[in-house]
Amino acid sequence: MAHEFNNISLIGKFRSTDGAETVLDLASYLRERGIKARIEHGTASAIGEAAQGFDTVTYEEIAREADLAVVVGGDGSLLNAARRMGARAVPLVGVNLGRLGFLTDLPRARARQQLGEILDGRYRSESRFMFDAEVMRDGECIFHTLALNDVVVNRGNLGQMIEFELRVDGEFVYTLLSDGMIVATPTGSTAYALSANGPILHPGVSGIALVPLCPHALSARPVTLPDTSCIEIVLMPPHDARIHFDGAAYCDGRAGDRLRIVRSPLEVRLLHPEGYSYFAMLREKLHWSASMSRF
């Protein structure tokens, strides 16, 4: 197990020097262990001269050649890396520089120690499923991408609600007037969907959460569907909308466009430190069992 990871790539926050010291420290640590360490090209460019002592690599090369990718940043950085390398399930380890860090669970102060434990074979591995999403217009696909967290249809810059039709596996569910809809994986259930009063789905649950955004109907409630479902959202005239994928990529939808979401056959493999607990993570991040004096 100690020799499972021989080619490791380090990825930092997009166009940011935040975490540069941690990236360089981990690169040096990997080199000390005799492991080939390379820094993602954009990360190296942001760091500057200090990164010149290490080889650089593109996302395409990481997906093709790396045994492990270490993402130094927040959950957004890890989501971006997962989407860009979705065609090959390169294992991902996240070092948390953000505020919450539901996915990036190695604290910066212990990153070297815990990465060493993972390299020694002391880790937990889990797979998270992704969405395959496409936007159809007049029978043609105008946008196609993957999403690990969620796909969100919202009103964009409009000052009014939008109306859309929801279908599941071809069956009409309802027409809804609202600010939009969140379609979330279990991974994304602790992201935007959580703030919109959606359910928390354990990663082991094969489900999809549908969470209406500010619906103009008190009866419109979050619904959990099987992950085998095909979800379609059709924008009703005269409303346009913006469609977001993991809060990064987006597509400007027009009235009549059809958003189609299914589970992708591709999965993301996350490596956690030994002793990782999903419920302990939720307890820490969401302040469960915290004394009321803290609030």
pLDDT digit string (tens) for the chain, length 295 residues: 455 899 999 999 877 788 899 999 999 999 999 999 999 999 999 999 988 999 999 999 999 999 999 999 999 999 999 988 876 779 999 999 867 789 998 999 999 999 999 999 999 999 999 999 999 999 999 999 999 999 999 998 877 899 999 999 999 999 999 999 999 999 999 999 999 999 999 999 999 999 999 999 888 999 999 999 999 999 999 989 999 999 989 999 999 999 999 999 999 999 999 989 999 999 999 999 876 555 5
CATH fold of 7-121, please? Rossmann fold (3.40.50)
Helices in the chain by DSSP H: which ranges? 20-32, 41-47, 59-65, 75-84, 111-119, 192-195, 278-285
Residue identified by tokens 């946008």 is 143
Q: β-pairing, 7-11 with 68-73?
A: parallel
Q: What is the pLDDT of residue 291?
A: 63
Residues 103 and 75 sit within 8 Å (Cβ to Cβ): yes
Which residue numbers are catalytic?
75
Q: What is the pLDDT of residue 187?
A: 97
131-264 belongs to which homologous superfamily? Probable inorganic polyphosphate/atp-NAD kinase; domain 2 (2.60.200.30)
Residue identified by tokens 């890890």 is 78
Domain ranges of the chain: 7-121, 131-264
Residues 22 and 82 sit within 8 Å (Cβ to Cβ): no
Three-state SS for 152?
strand
- Cα 70 to chain centroid, rounded: 15
Residues 134 and 141 sit within 8 Å (Cβ to Cβ): yes
Question: What are the CA-CA distances from residue 47 to residues 17, 20, 24, 43, 156 (Å)?
Answer: 6, 6, 9, 6, 34
Q: What is the pLDDT of residue 250?
A: 95
CA distance 78 to 71: 6
Residues 250 and 235 sit within 8 Å (Cβ to Cβ): no
Q: What is the pLDDT of residue 89?
A: 78
Q: What is the pLDDT of residue 1?
A: 43
Residues 21 and 72 sit within 8 Å (Cβ to Cβ): no
Q: What is the pLDDT of residue 214?
A: 94
Report pTM. Answer: 0.92
